[in-house]
Structure 1
Amino acid sequence: MKGSSHAAIGAAVGAIAGYQVQPDLYTIAISSLVGGVSALVPDLDTNGVASNRITISKKITQWLMQFVGIGILVAIIYQYFTAGFSPSILLYAGIGLLFFIVSQFITQRRMLTLTGVMVMWLGIVMHQSIGILLAGSYIVIASFLPHRSYTHSFLGLAFYAFILNHLQQEWAFEGLLAAGIAGYASHLIADMKLLPMNRRGVKWFLPFWNKEW
């Protein structure tokens, strides 16, 4: 199923969940947004639409790293001809070379890992937000997982609910947990084999049972 379809279903069930919590327009609107976004979260385990939308382009990252590497090397040459040789030159030369080497091996999936690390750092900056720290850790973990594995299981849903619970406490929005769980669960249900458009199913009970449903 396409990401747009998942988002639409998630938005609908999120709105319904928000209405059950608090039947006012503001809660329904925010819950619909939360449900739509949450319905895309399980696909962060693949280099698809969901993961690529939240990460910086690999080519842009490579260009930036090479630019930084060149800048470091230029600074080293300038220091050598103005102040002479010093042991720190070797250290900075190594750092500049490292930027060049890493830029050649970086992949879009590793950009997803870096995005998760940046989200975790944001959680530290924002008054040590546990919810944002956990959200970053989810992204980092998902970047190492094969498609339709742990993020498409009860274990992934439970971890996401744990994150939402912390965010709901920190942001004081009552519909967040219900809408997020509804959106996330809608993705897993829509990916099940019981729907004729799905060749593969969902392994709900990983890591205890590998059967696809």
Structure 2
Amino acid sequence: MGGVSGLVPDLDTNGVASNRITVSKQISKTLMQIVGVCILFAIAYQAATDGFALNDCIYGGIALILLILSKKITQRRMLTLTGAMVILLGISWQQSIGIILSGSYIVIASFLPHRSYTHSIIGLAFYAFILVKLNEQWPVNGMVAAGIAGYISHLLADMKLLPMNRRGVKWFAPVWNREF
């Protein structure tokens, strides 16, 4: 839990963390194109055998959206879609507040610039709240402490104290934007 939590603050970038939890952009594009083309072929077959119906327009629109998305989608939007899918999983799976909040964190992080709120006390507090909710539903001794320790270790490693970090961590953003 500590190791995974140590990667969570970097969900706000196109880095290791976000790329590990999303399907490859190329695989996603290919799947969208295949599904879009299959829908169009199904509509054409349906129209040829049973005639054209209003539902065909709706499905045709979905197919076109998939084909357009396949050309335009970025890895960050893949992260947004992943977060949305996690939220849907939480809703369908026993209304799990912890999973819904995890998906919310992923969606929010996908829209944030790097080292902003996920690298602050606000991000840490939100993540700690998620861990508490997950631990309420699936109790594991030490899960919350290990998760918080992993998250904090990432923030400490990103501080300007280390010579390789020119950009620090804004612990108190948005109230105080000083980098430490």
TM-score bracket relative to the smaller structure: over 0.9
Correspondent of 1:153 among 120, 144, 160 = 120
TM-score (norm 2): 0.96
Q: What is the alpha-carbon distance in structure 1 between the residues aligned to residue 76 and residue 101 of structure 2?
A: 19
Partner of 1:118: 85
Q: Distance in 2 between matches of 1:109 and 1:65?
A: 16
- 2:7 aligned to which of 40, 43, 64: 40
Aligned to 1:74: 41
C-alpha separation between the residues in 2 aligned to 1:85 and 1:166?
A: 50
**Aligned residue type for 1:152:** H
Would you say 1:183 and 2:118 are equivalent positions?
no
Distance 1:105 1:36 in 2: 33
Amino acid at match of 2:21: I
Counterpart Cα distance in 2 of 1:147 and 1:173: 31
**Alignment partners' CA distance in 1, 2:96 and 2:103:** 11
Q: Structure 2 matches for 1:105-144, cutoff 5 A?
A: 105-144=72-111
**Number of residue equivalences:** 180
- Tell me which of 137, 148, 153 is aligned to 1:170: 137
| TM-score (normalizing by structure 1) | 0.82
Based on CA coordinates, which of the two structures has the bigger radius of gyration? 1
- State the distance in 1 between where 2:126 and 2:57 align: 45
1:208 Cα deviation from its structure 2 partner: 0.6
Aligned residue number for residue 16 of structure 1:
none
Deviates more, 1:136-145 or 1:122-131: 122-131
Any idea what the Cα deviations from partners look like across 1:104-134, whole Å, max 9, x if unmatched?
Answer: 1111000101111111111122211111111
Gaps of at least 5 residues in structure 1 are 1-33
Partner residue of 1:30? none
**Cα distance in structure 2, aligned partners of 1:138 and 1:124:** 15
Structure 1 SS opposite 2:99: helix
**In structure 2, what residue type is equivalent to 1:99?**
L
Moved >3 Å (runs of 4+): none
Residue in 2 aligned with 1:207?
Answer: 174
Which residue of 134, 140, 160 corresponds with 1:193?
Answer: 160
**Which stretch shifts more, 172-181 or 41-50?**
172-181
Q: What letter matches 1:41 in structure 2? A: V
Percent identity among equivalent residues? 69
Q: Please, which moves more after superposition, 118-127 or 138-147? A: 118-127
Displacement of 1:92: 2.1
Aligned partner of residue 39 in structure 1, secondary structure: helix
Q: Distance in 2 between matches of 1:66 and 1:100?
A: 5
Aligned-pair distance for 1:194?
1.2
How far the C-alpha of 1:200 sits from its partner, in A, is 0.8
